[in-house]
Amino acid sequence: MESIPVTWFVALSAILFLIGASGVLLRKNLVIMLMSLELIFNAVNINLVAFSYYLQDLTGQLFAIFSITIAACEVAVALGILIALVRNRRTFSADEIKTLNG
């Protein structure tokens, strides 16, 4: 059985990373920005797992599991902050929310 070359995984993660980066930089909706950040995290995890399999080392897979855990905590905190801001400001736009400025 022939395996998939690692370059395909790198290309897939590069495409996901570019889509996520463009979503963070170009969109103003906070929910879309959070989803774009998740795309970036998933692109990194694909690279970690692909190179871990290619090099026959479990370290990349352990980092991927750690990264997924941290991303889940980040989303939980970010959605909590977002819900509180929407209740106070009645908007999802990143331009209109200036509450967190120091």
Domains of the chain and CATH, by start: 28-102 (1.10.287.3510)
Q: Is the pLDDT confidence value at 8 over 50? A: yes
Q: Is the pLDDT confidence value at 98 over 70? A: no
Look up the pTM and report it.
Answer: 0.83
- Separation CA 61–CA 64 (nearest Å): 5
- Separation CA 100–CA 102 (nearest Å): 6
Please give the residue that has the higher pLDDT: either 64 or 1: 64
- Separation CA 23–CA 1 (nearest Å): 38
Q: Is the pLDDT confidence value at 1 over 50? A: no
Q: Is the pLDDT confidence value at 11 over 90? A: yes
Nearest to 40 by CA among 9, 71, 8, 84: 71
pLDDT tens track for 14-23: 999 999 999 9
